[in-house]
Amino acid sequence: MLAVRVYYEDTDFTGLVYHANYVRYLERGRSDYLRLAGVSHGDLLDRPDPCAFVVTRLAIDFRKPARIDDALTVRTTYDTVRGARLIIAQRVTRGQDLIAQAAVEAVCIAPGGKARRPPADFVERLRPRLLPTPTP
């Protein structure tokens, strides 16, 4: 869970959060989630088998507007790891109000850009937070 305060710079001429800024909030939420799970982006790159993550799909549903000075919360769950793909759900709330929700797909890649499975120890750190993989 990540707390975000809306600043003047986050808003458009109407005083509402500009839609592109939600992408920033969501990225911070995913990064903080990993950090709290003991995973550092820098450590992933410094491994003998370095890797990183790229977002390949991002779908955002905007439900209510956020305004200057709002205190928002970004909730992130890494739901499933399938092959190289990570399926992530995110919600931005203001108190009990749902402001936006996102479905995210990220892919683990090697430094050259080729998709690869995430390192086993990375998946193990996420395991307590992952939903069971559905069986066909």
Residue in the block written with tokens 């950090």: 35
Give the 3-state secondary structure of the chain: CEEEECCHHHECCCCEECHHHHHHHHHHHHHHHHHHCCCCHHHHHHCCCCCEEEEEEEEEEECCCCECCCEEEEEEEEEEEECCEEEEEEEEEECCEEEEEEEEEEEEECCCCCECCCCHHHHHHHHHHCCCCCCC
Active-site position among 12, 43, 69, 121: 12
The question of whether 121 is a catalytic residue gets the answer: no
Query: Which residues have a catalytic role annotated?
Result: 12
